[in-house]
Amino acid sequence: MKSDVSGPRVLLRRLREVMAERLGAQERLNKIVQHIARNMVAEVCSVYVLRSDEILELFATEGLNPESVHVASLRVGQGLVGTIAASARSLNLPEAQRHPAFTYLPETGEEVFHSFLGVPILRVGRALGVLVVQNREHRVYRDDELEALETTAMVLAELIATGELEGIANKGTSLGLNRPLQFEGVSLSDGLGLGKVILHEPRVVVTNLFNEDADKEVARLKKAVVSLQVSIDDLFQKGDVAQDGEHREVLEAYRMFANDRGWIRRMEEAVRNGLAAEAAVEKVQSDNRARMLRQPNPYLRDRLNDFDDLANRLLRELVGKPHGPVDEEIMGDFVVLARSMGAAELLDYNNGELRGLVLEEAGPTSHVVIVARALGIPVVGQLPGFVANAEPGNDIVVDGDEGIVTLRPQPDVQLAYQEKQHFREGQREKYAKLRNKPSVTVDGTQIELLMNAGLLMDLPQLAESGASGIGLFRTELQFMISATLPRPGEQEELYRNVLDSVDGKPVTFRTLDVGGDKVLPYMQLAAEENPALGWRAIRLALDRPGLLRSQIRALLKAAAGRSLRLMLPLVTEVWEIEQVRNIIRREVELQTRFGHEMPRSLELGAMLEVPSLLWQLDELMQSADFVSVGSNDLFQFTMAADRGNANLARRFSPMSKPYLRLLRDIARKADEHNTSLTLCGEIAGRPLSAMAILGVGYRSISMSPAALGPVKAMLVSLDLPRLKGVLDQVLDGEDVNIDIPKLLSSFAESNKIPY
Ligand code: PEP
Ligand code: MG
């Protein structure tokens, strides 16, 4: 038996007519399977559609028992149809019943059919269903027949995606396209965000599936491919992008793919089969996706993103839209989904309704994450391949506390999250009431609560959070979100703006903490084997004093007539502080000579982040005007545990004997020398660990603004001498198995301290 040679084109023409007819969903589907069966000279053509409960239901058939429609079903992975859906791979079998996965469905009456050709109905690489043809005789379907059936499946994918089939499934179950999905990634910024999906790089939606004239369409496709190739060559010409190693690698991959003859040939074939050029690009990309997702080789799987990007670029060439992010109509609360994103791009979305961010690739120290944290936006990251599952406008919940993203949540799940959010809002109101209350423990100890900041947009939070000042202003953020090195005038303007808007409250500016993992795109530094231990922060600043001097100058000028507090990151030996003090002294002299007004007072502090300082505590306390413990780095270096390594995140606790003893030693030394001491870093921002820090002697802590309320609620209920008694006993004891977080939480519970 032979199928019609003019097959695919004629079939697609028929299907186009069916798609245009005014028909009910079931009728349309029935006609589609009839046409496919006739065109492919098959005795059976059936469509199975994936439901949200992971069941593939027979939606229409020509040739099998009509009574089995909406009755026969298989689980994903079960039977031939289930295997095709699970693997997103076609099966071409002369004798279906010999295949080990074959499952007999008696209600369909399929036992008389031997040969079987099944293809997945793919959309962006996801199987939404399975399309099958069967014949009585034993035959192997030819490659062109397989290709034709895959092309036809594309039409069905669009039909499913339009939602037309929704509602005709058995017992009204919703379809797989809309099924809820939950993914566990990595928490990058705390909080809970609910909203509608916005794709940062929206896929071009292909609405025109068929072509009128294959030759013309192939010419259109070829023209678009040439423009694509030229646009990629153009990117190479742009020096700034092409110089950088990583960018260059990506571009090389793009160029290779854009010239991949196999890719172009497969798209041409799909056009010759009757698809419009856009639909052909999408079909071939869906096949690619399904194929590459099966790759065990992570390098090849990673390249999938490049290929996706390229296909999207080609679609944009075809529909005449510019490259890069497209303005979306944003209405109401929304969550942005991106593979990766620059920090400045995130700011473009920050219109007050941005509720969350999901990033496939970003890690905790990426710039965009730092900025999102500063904005109080929950972020979940490290979810490769996630974006492909989402459609613009889908409901989504980003649980930044747990690192979980729920796409299209079921109503009860959504409700539970909404309740959690209301609860949080209630808490926030409670915290707002605490805002103007004194920050004093039950026994009358005054605690200074400061906030961390780094951008101008953080500043309104100073008043909102009730912080008594800024304990850590990370000046590197301005440098990190900027495309070029901020000019001295720009730096000065930012610092002046900061000081102008804090209403006389103290601000501690930290000098540039770059290098290592905090990369400035415009500053070419050699790759390092151990960036955390590398040429960074104050080390870099002292070796390249020009940069430090211009920053100090900007700070001195901005603080004219006011108090200036400067702090140095990653000090390892005390002489580094002295060197900077000399640079400042010289700069003050110079500026005074030029007639610039200088700050009324100037204090120079050091961050205690490197354990070597623990054996220079006397010298440190004498040399620095104040000391701030950078607990993130001090913890990572003390425990030899990379702060960005997810596998180590829960292994060691800062609320452990060695670390708390060490923090206590620092606090005692500061008291002895009467040196002002602060602690900044994540542990200051969680009520339980903040309690531990107060317990070992700290009276000033700096944290993200969102953490201030919960920490204050904790401390106003805290009897500090009682806690100190409990903690000292543990820290001075010899029990090496003591679980301090557990001990502290039971202390909090029995003393009714919220934590
Ligand atoms: C720290 O290391 O604790 C700190 C506050 O600095 P950063 O997190 O910016 O390294
Ligand atoms: Mg640090």
Q: Of residues 663 and 160, which shows the higher confidence score? A: 663
Mean pLDDT of the region 191-204: 88
Residue 116 in this model has a pLDDT that exceeds 90: yes
In this predicted model, what pLDDT tens digit does every residue of 687-709 receive, in sequence order?
Answer: 999 999 999 999 999 998 888 99
CA of 583 to the centre of ligand 2 (A): 22
Is the minimum distance from the CB of 680 to ligand 1 under 6 angstroms? yes
Cβ-defined contacts of 169-173 (< 8 Å, 24+): 169/49, 169/51, 169/57, 169/59, 169/70, 170/57, 170/70, 170/71, 170/73, 173/51, 173/52, 173/53, 173/55, 173/57
**Secondary element (H or E) of residue 715:** helix 708-715
In this predicted model, what pLDDT tens digit does every residue of 520-577 receive, in sequence order?
Answer: 767 777 888 898 899 999 999 999 999 999 999 999 999 999 999 999 999 999 999 9
Report, at the CATH architecture level, how domain 214-319 is classified.
Answer: Orthogonal Bundle (1.10)
In this predicted model, what pLDDT tens digit does every residue of 598-621 receive, in sequence order?
Answer: 999 999 999 999 999 999 999 999
Is the minimum distance from the CB of 609 to ligand 1 under 6 angstroms? yes
CA of 537 to the centre of ligand 2 (A): 9
Is the minimum distance from the CB of 681 to ligand 1 under 6 angstroms? yes
Residue 747 CA, distance from chain mean position: 36
DSSP at 100: T
In this predicted model, what pLDDT tens digit does every residue of 585-595 receive, in sequence order?
Answer: 999 999 999 99
Q: Take atom 4 of ligand 1 and give the residue whose Cα is closest.
A: 630
Given the residues 367, 422, 596, 673, select the one marked as catalytic: 367
Distance between CA atoms of residues 289 and 304, nearest Å = 7
pLDDT in the model for residue 289: 80
User: How many CB atoms sit inside 10 A of residue 172's CB?
Assistant: 8
pLDDT bin (cut points 50, 70, 90) of residue 326 is: very low
Q: Which of 609, 639, 662, 683 is the pocket-test mutation for ligand 1 (most atoms within 8 Å of CB)?
A: 609
Least confident of 343-357, 441-455, 662-676: 343-357
Ligand nearest to the CA of 571: 2
Is the minimum distance from the CB of 629 to ligand 1 under 6 angstroms? no
pLDDT in the model for residue 216: 94
Look over the chain and give the mean of its residue pLDDT values, rounded to a whole number: 89
The answer as to CATH 3.30.450.40 being correct for domain 8-178 is: yes
Q: Which of 373, 476, 513, 634 is the pocket-test mutation for ligand 1 (most atoms within 8 Å of CB)?
A: 513
Place of tokens 């959504």: 414
Work out the widest C-alpha separation in the chain, in whole angstroms: 100
List, as one string, the DSSP characters of 158-196: HHHHTTTTTT-SGGGPPBGGG--EEEE-EEEE-SEEEEE
Amino acid identity of residue 662, one-letter, is L
Is the minimum distance from the CB of 632 to ligand 1 under 6 angstroms? yes
Mean pLDDT of the region 23-41: 94
Is the minimum distance from the CB of 513 to ligand 1 under 6 angstroms? yes
Fold of the 181-202+326-411 domain:
Glucose Oxidase; domain 1 (3.50.30)
Copy the structure tokens of residue 329: 């109509």
Could you identify the atom of ligand 1 that is nearest to the CA of residue 513?
9
Ligand nearest to the CA of 631: 1
Assess whether 367 carries a catalytic annotation: yes
CA of 633 to the centre of ligand 2 (A): 5
| Domain residue limits, the chain | 8-178, 181-202+326-411, 214-319, 439-750
Distance between CA atoms of residues 634 and 326, nearest Å = 43
Copy the structure tokens of residue 350: 């920050």
Query: Where does 392-519 show beta strands of DSSP type E?
Result: 395-399, 404-407, 448-453, 470-474, 507-510
Could you identify the atom of ligand 1 that is nearest to the CA of residue 682?
3
Is the minimum distance from the CB of 574 to ligand 1 under 6 angstroms? no
Q: Which residues contact 551 (CB under 8 A, 6 or more apart)?
A: 475, 491, 511, 512
pLDDT bin (cut points 50, 70, 90) of residue 355 is: very high
pTM: 0.70
Distance between CA atoms of residues 460 and 617, nearest Å = 36
Q: Take atom 9 of ligand 1 and give the residue whose Cα is closest.
A: 474
Amino acid identity of residue 638, one-letter, is T
CA of 273 to the centre of ligand 1 (A): 59
Residue 257 in this model has a pLDDT that exceeds 80: no
Is the minimum distance from the CB of 373 to ligand 1 under 6 angstroms? no
List, as one string, the DSSP characters of 27-49: HHHHHHHHHHHHHTT-SEEEEEE
CA of 184 to the centre of ligand 2 (A): 28
Could you identify the atom of ligand 1 that is nearest to the CA of residue 680?
5
Assess whether 45 carries a catalytic annotation: no
Q: Provide the 3-class DSSP secondary structure of residue 397.
A: strand
Q: Take atom 6 of ligand 1 and give the residue whose Cα is closest.
A: 630
The answer as to CATH 3.20.20.60 being correct for domain 439-750 is: yes
Could you identify the atom of ligand 1 that is nearest to the CA of residue 476?
9
Is the minimum distance from the CB of 472 to ligand 1 under 6 angstroms? yes
Residue 344 CA, distance from chain mean position: 15
Copy the structure tokens of residue 447: 């605690």
CA of 482 to the centre of ligand 1 (A): 20
